[in-house]
Structure 1
Amino acid sequence: MRAAVHTAANEPLRIEEIEAERPAEGEVAIDVTSCGACHSDLHVLKGELPFPTPAVLGHEVAGVISELGSSVSGLEVGDRVVTSFIMPCGRCAQCAAGNEEICLEFFAYNRAKGQLYDGRTRLSRGGGEPVWMYSMGGLAQRAVTPATSVYRVPDGVELTDVAAVGCSTMTAYGALRHAADVRVGDTVAVVAAGGVGSALIQLARVFGAAEIIAVDVAAEKLEAARELGATSTVNSTETDPATAVRELTGGRGVDVAFEALGSSRTFEVARDSVVEGGQVVVVGIAPPGDTGELNLGTIARRKLQVKGSYGAKPRRDMPVLLDLVARGLLRPQDAISEHYPLDQAAEAFAALDRGEIRGRAVIDVA
């Protein structure tokens, strides 16, 4: 099969012919239709997140089930599906406690080593050289993944429209629902209006936020943010963004500020934008070693809450998100600005790195 293979940091993806194994027990094989281009993949491509090579990246997958491993129930060959980037093992202590988003096996085997939960990848080059998998390795014609990460797409919903639901949308939902528990009437700021930021804006509207302030450095992204539901925008190249957020809220600050990029600068904006007792939720994945400053006395005096959020709870939350899409309450397709064929996967990530992608780019594999 054809795949876009990551061979070394700061080298473009290469289209290669590689092999995919059949699914093992509890796994599913998917003929990939589309795969979102995520900033987390870009961090790996640039060497900012260590990951073994050669590897197939891509973890926002939409496609059709082509084969089932043994012991898989509730899914059938031919089902139209999307995947969650978190692939809960379902048996570790965190999964048993209901914390699937921080599954111990996922971080030990997949994020650290590019393997599934028997310690092996399902991909290889000719001659048997292993090709490692970032989540399910969706930048390929076929992906093999645990069934716990696979969800049927409702009838009438286009697969390419929902490819990114399993990462950017699910990440946003987890931050709003589980980390911050945003309520009707709350005021929120979204700092960085990229893929995850766009999903945060859309879902904050669904959650009933009274005011949604988008903060970014790019005018075109802020224009798109308004179209997605932002009530106000702040261009941080033109003004002090935290001051502007406070002015927009009558000097008060927002109830919740979401940091959606993963940098010290955007964290500082989120930190300084909240009301006393407010919540700062860090959603973006920063490169290792990147830090944000916190004044401990200020945290105590202002009763600030600083929280981290890593996705949602897939088996609980993905069906909810797909139902919202089916009912027209959530339109992830509105955040997709570009489509690329698999042959141009390298250009998709180069455009993402240049800041040219509004919302999400999707790579159409089939």
Structure 2
Amino acid sequence: MSTIKARALVLEEPGTQPVLAEVDVLDPGPGEVRIKIAASGVCGTDGHAIEGTHPLARWPIVLGHEGAGVVESVGEGVTGIGVGDHVVCALAVPCGTCRQCRRGLAEHCNSAARRQAMSGVMADGDSRLRYGGERAYPFFGVGTLAEYSTVRREQVIPIDPALPLDEFCLAGCGVITGYGAVMNVARVRPGDSVVVLGAGGVGANVIQAARAAGASTIVAVDAIPEKLELARTFGATHVVEASADVAKEIAAIEPDGADAVFEVVGKPELLTLCLSLTRVGGACVMVGIPPVGSKITFDAFTLTANRRLLGCRGGAVVPARDIERLVSLYRGGTLNLAGLIGRRIGLDDVFGALDALGKSTFARSVVVF
């Protein structure tokens, strides 16, 4: 093995423009693997890192966190995976040893080891990236907007090589977050009614997961008409333009409120509306990532009617478990990944994809290497 030079999208510091540059991807250490990235989604969370509003980002950083590829080399002690295996990059890495993990609640792991992994630091306290001879960090520990990445073994989930990597790269973040919000957090049941504010990359997956869970009514709300049409293809039974009187429109569909309401935009002020759309005993789930330090204002009496206001950290998933479930849904024809991809682009075209975040008429741009 030897250090590999790779092109990557690097952000030197928040608030600046990222650049395409050459980085050194070091050999995998014990318990690590190096991946040749095949494809990476361009996600709104990358935009948060560029703005400097994501708490896990360190600088300089290699952006990208929705990736899939092929294992190029493995470090000492790695088991269950080998060179040539196809893998999906995973973000949430339960430590396996904290109190929550020992209780079987790995999705709630919040250990220092987990936070260290997701900030791009290996077990020895170093990273496996160098930029201009200095240490750099992979976003969420994976840094997938690069030709190669060295990551912890726990952050790669092997999949059948017959599955398309350009589609399954999205499983690592947008798809699994939407799926987990429905299945793990809100626990939508057959016959439930669902409202989704924000029908973009994650919202589309909330919609198709709600359909897979058996929801009878699924209302999509968005400001972009084309995304509402896309929402119908993923299972929305009703659509509402954000410029309308959303509360009035949804009351005409579900007079008593919805069983589960999902805020997938990341605007705290929308949570007040979401709570008002939630039925007595229903669940209001904050899926979008709000700016750090932002506040929520609502009438606390709203919660006395057994309404639940729930957070949703990445869909509360355990990657090894939930990606396997996504594969089963995909093979059964229930999970539509191809429909999420609006554009397949090269790495040189990534700046246009970043500029389109939050404004595009489709769910995702995918960089194909």
Instruction: Answer yes or no: is 1:280 the counterpart of 2:287.
Output: no
**Residues 1:204 and 1:116: Cα distance change in structure 2 (over 3 Å):** same
**Residues 1:260 and 1:124: Cα distance change in structure 2 (over 3 Å):** same
1:133 corresponding residue in structure 2 = 138
Question: 2:29 & 2:297 partners in 1: Cα distance?
Answer: 46
**Residues 1:142 and 1:21: Cα distance change in structure 2 (over 3 Å):** same
Pick from 293, 310, 313 the counterpart of residue 313 of structure 2. 310
- Aligned counterparts, 1:93-132, within 5 A: 93-103=99-109, 104-105=111-112, 108-111=115-118, 113-127=119-133, 129-132=134-137
2:258 corresponding residue in structure 1 = 254
1:32 corresponding residue in structure 2 = 37
Question: 1:338 & 1:102 partners in 2: Cα distance?
Answer: 34
Question: 2:12 & 2:245 partners in 1: Cα distance?
Answer: 41
CA positional deviation for 1:16: 0.8
**Residues 1:290 and 1:200: Cα distance change in structure 2 (over 3 Å):** same
**Residues 1:102 and 1:139: Cα distance change in structure 2 (over 3 Å):** farther
Question: 1:359 & 1:195 partners in 2: Cα distance?
Answer: 4
- Aligned counterparts, 1:1-366, within 5 A: 1-50=6-55, 51-103=57-109, 104-105=111-112, 108-111=115-118, 113-127=119-133, 129-135=134-140, 136-237=142-243, 239-249=244-254, 251-300=255-304, 302-311=305-314, 312-353=317-358, 355-364=359-368, 366=369
Please say if residues 13 and 345 of structure 1, whose CA atoms lie closer than 8 Å, have aligned partners that are also in contact.
no
SS at match of 2:357: helix
Question: 1:71 & 1:92 partners in 2: Cα distance?
Answer: 22
Identity of aligned residues (%): 35
Question: 2:292 & 2:178 partners in 1: Cα distance?
Answer: 22
Aligned residue type for 1:310: R
Question: Structure 1 runs of 4+ off > 6 angstroms?
Answer: none
Aligned residue type for 1:31: K
CA positional deviation for 1:110: 4.0
CA positional deviation for 1:361: 1.5
1:64-117: CA deviation from partner (whole Å, max 9, x where unpaired): 111112222221211111111223333333333333334323553144x43233
SS at match of 1:276: strand
Please say if residues 340 and 362 of structure 1, whose CA atoms lie closer than 8 Å, have aligned partners that are also in contact.
yes
My pick for the range that moved more, 215-224 or 9-18, is 9-18
CA positional deviation for 1:44: 0.9
SS at match of 1:352: coil
**Residues 1:150 and 1:52: Cα distance change in structure 2 (over 3 Å):** closer
Question: 1:4 & 1:102 partners in 2: Cα distance?
Answer: 31
TM-score of the aligned structures, taking structure 2 as reference length: 0.92
Give the paired residue count. 359
**Residues 1:154 and 1:54: Cα distance change in structure 2 (over 3 Å):** same
My pick for the range that moved more, 72-81 or 86-95, is 86-95
My pick for the range that moved more, 16-25 or 264-273, is 264-273
Question: 2:113 & 2:284 partners in 1: Cα distance?
Answer: 26
Structure 1 unmatched ranges of 5 or more:
none
**Residues 1:131 and 1:291: Cα distance change in structure 2 (over 3 Å):** same
1:328-358: CA deviation from partner (whole Å, max 9, x where unpaired): 22112211112221112222111115x1152
Structure 2 unmatched ranges of 5 or more:
1-5
Aligned residue type for 2:115: A
TM-score of the aligned structures, taking structure 1 as reference length: 0.93
Aligned residue type for 1:20: V
Aligned residue type for 1:240: D
1:262-318: CA deviation from partner (whole Å, max 9, x where unpaired): 112332232111111111011111111222223112211x22111111121112211
